[in-house]
Amino acid sequence: MLKTVNFDSFDALINDAGKRIKFLAEAAVSSKGIFTMALAGGSTPAALYLWLSCRENWNAPWDKIHFFWGDERLVPLDSELSNYRMVNENLLSKISIPPENTHIPEVSLSPEQAAADYETEIRNFGTVFDLILLGIGPDGHTASLFPDTASLQEKQKLVITVPPPTTAQPAIPRITFTLPLINQAGNIIILATGEEKYQLLNSPDEYPFKMIENAEILFTLKK
Ligand code: 6PG
């Protein structure tokens, strides 16, 4: 079930998302010593990553937290288009986290090899993420699962390559978590802001983000 929680302001949404992550991470670390989280691209997550990096908000046990990327564009890691670069700029470069805790996709490989290697890394590590963070694109995509594409039919693989999307920018090949991987996560939080996303949330159309089985959508009309 998708449950939408509404906020009056962008700051209230970010603050709540940050506190949810803090709560989930502290609970996971105290019960099993580790918290695994998949990160998303987009401008809303960028603000959340800054919140997480701030010690006044949370003195996090970074050595017990492992980050993966729910999707990544196959561009160099220092590219303006790289989700890794955005996460690094807003979070990783501001905290002290062991390098082995950041599971960065190998973007220099062929798309098929990059996806296969990332799947192997996830299978070796554990396929049930404590938290997967997602966004919603203007075309209703989530992670890099685009509308009316074969990626939505994948039943076996955990990570796949997708060709450059025709419904969203940038038109660059990507790798992405699949629905079977996403839907087994312990928790899924989707961040969405603005009028365009409001229309998607309230439309009867079957957009990719609506194929997520259980998630909380944190939403504000304000950007
Ligand atoms: C992509 C984007 C995309 C993003 C949404 C929401 O690769 O196409 O990263 O998936 O999640 O466009 O972005 P905002 O948070 O900026 O609305």
Residue nearest atom 5 of ligand 1, based on CA coordinates: 137
Question: pLDDT of 50-102, one tens digit each?
Answer: 999 999 999 999 999 999 999 999 999 999 999 999 999 999 999 999 999 99
Calculate how far, in angstroms, residue 34's C-alpha sits from the geometric centre of ligand 1: 27
Mean pLDDT (whole number) for 134-144: 98
Q: 0.75 exceeded by the pTM?
A: yes
For residue 102, report the phi and psi dihedrals to the nearest 5 degrees. -110, 110
Q: Whose CA is nearest to atom 13 of ligand 1?
A: 42
Adjacency order of strands within the sheet including 35-39: 2-7, 215-220, 188-193, 131-135, 35-39, 65-69
Q: What confidence tens digit (pLDDT) does each residue in 176-209 have?
A: 999 999 999 999 999 999 999 999 999 999 999 9
The atom of ligand 1 lying closest to the CA of 134 is: 11
Nearest residue (CA) to ligand 1, atom 14: 42
Q: Once rounded to an integer, what is the mean pLDDT over residues 211-218?
A: 98
Percent of the chain with pLDDT over 70: 100
Q: Which residues line ligand 1 (CB under 6 A)?
A: 40-44, 135-137, 168, 193
